[in-house]
Chains A and B, each alone.
Chain A
Amino acid sequence: MHGRIITLVAAAVATTVACNKSASSTADTGMVAAPESAPAALDRNAEAAAIVKADSTWLRNVMAKNVDSLMTLYTPEAVSYGFGTAPASGSEQLRALYTEFVKSTVTNPKLLSNTVKFSDDGTMAFDHGTYSMTVAPAGGKPEHQTGAYLNVWKKVDGQWKMLAEISTPIPAPKS
């Protein structure tokens, strides 16, 4: 069970940056919007910021238990590989995965985003990093988890959406 949590966390990893914000459970789809008209030259800093924002949106929606908004962050063909759980592929399986996942409550998320890199044309990107958070399964005991994540993104109609995500537990960094 908590393996699944960790999986999701992986994606959350990316998200933690702005996670202090209390999330609203209303539609939350605009955070990933990139500039209306793509610049001729790729503005890597701006696009990297958009991806980190998307990570943050992901986490806010997990914390708000808003599956509808979570689903806006994925392409229809996205795949998710969580630790200790079967892979989820496509919108239907992803929705089922996250519907189950948000039965847990995530608190104290922290994210260290290490890298965001792009294809030369700026249509695909990946980011990876590490995370920590406390996850409390419904009716269960809260557990502190640390791990790493790797996400692959595609720009669709000006928004970054996930094509693939994977996470795995790793030891907490030495402080």
Chain B
Amino acid sequence: MRYRIGWYSAVIFSALALINCTKANNAATDTGAAKMSAAPGPNFDKDAAERAIRQGDSLWLRSVRAKNVDSVMTLYASDAVTLQEGGPMQKGSDALRAYFTEWFKANPRDIDIKFGDIKFSDDGTLAYETGSFTGTMNGPGGKPMKASGDYLTVYKNDGGTWKAVADMSNSNSMPGK
């Protein structure tokens, strides 16, 4: 059961992360990528904000590949929630940390993500991103388990840094089909 949960969670977020995924990565601290160059407000710099979120996506993927929970956690707000298929809601840093730690034990790999649009509130303080994913992780008994689906992630601009506050993913095919 957990595998699935972990998988989808991770995938969801990985969706965010893919852009520069060619870097194989180091597990050193890696925290600055989601910084925004423009402050929120009526005239906020949308392009800069989008770049910042995409950088966060990239960092997420690098961190997942490195199985670096500390780096992944820098991308979430302290009160973030993740709602993933088959598992209960995970809320707050401790729950998310436990969730990712468990997920990494299932060796998520071969993640591919198609990033969709990022859209912003008028004042540039809230944004959401959609997209789709495919990937593999270890299922019960270590058997490789493939999955594909979609994700929706909501971000909040926290003092110039974009952090995920809520995300959810699901499968777009029924089990067994």
Taking Cβ atoms with an 8 Å cutoff, the residues of A that contact B are 2-3, 7, 79, 81-87, 114-115, 117-121, 123-126, 128, 130, 148-150, 152, 163-171, 173
Interface residues in B, total, Cβ within 8 A: 35
Cβ of B120: which chain A residues have Cβ within 8 Å of it?
124
B contact patch SS: strand
Contact A169–B151 (Cβ < 8 Å): no
Which of B46-54, B62-70, B122-130 lies at the interface? Answer: B122-130
What's the minimum C-beta distance from B36 to chain A, rounded to whole angstroms? 14
Contact B152–A152 (Cβ < 8 Å): yes
* In the complex, B14 has a CB within 8 A of chain A: no
Contact A167–B121 (Cβ < 8 Å): no
Q: Which residue of B lies closest to A4 (CB)?
A: B174
Apart from A114-B81, A150-B168, A171-B87, what 15 extra A-B contacts exist at CB < 8 Å? Answer: A81-B150, A115-B81, A115-B166, A117-B165, A120-B40, A124-B122, A126-B126, A150-B154, A152-B128, A163-B119, A164-B152, A169-B85, A169-B86, A170-B83, A170-B84
A-contact bits for B158-177, CB 8 A (1 contact / 0 none): 00000001111111111000
Name the one of A124, A150, A171 contacting B152, with C-beta atoms under 8 angstroms: A150
Cβ of A86: which chain B residues have Cβ within 8 Å of it?
172
What is the CA–CA distance of A121 and B36 in the complex, to the nearest angstrom?
Answer: 19
Ordered by A's residue number, 23 sampled pairs between the chains whose C-beta atoms are within 8 Å are A2-B174, A3-B174, A79-B130, A81-B150, A81-B170, A83-B171, A84-B172, A84-B174, A114-B81, A120-B121, A121-B123, A124-B122, A125-B126, A126-B166, A152-B152, A164-B128, A164-B130, A168-B84, A168-B86, A168-B170, A169-B85, A170-B85, A171-B88
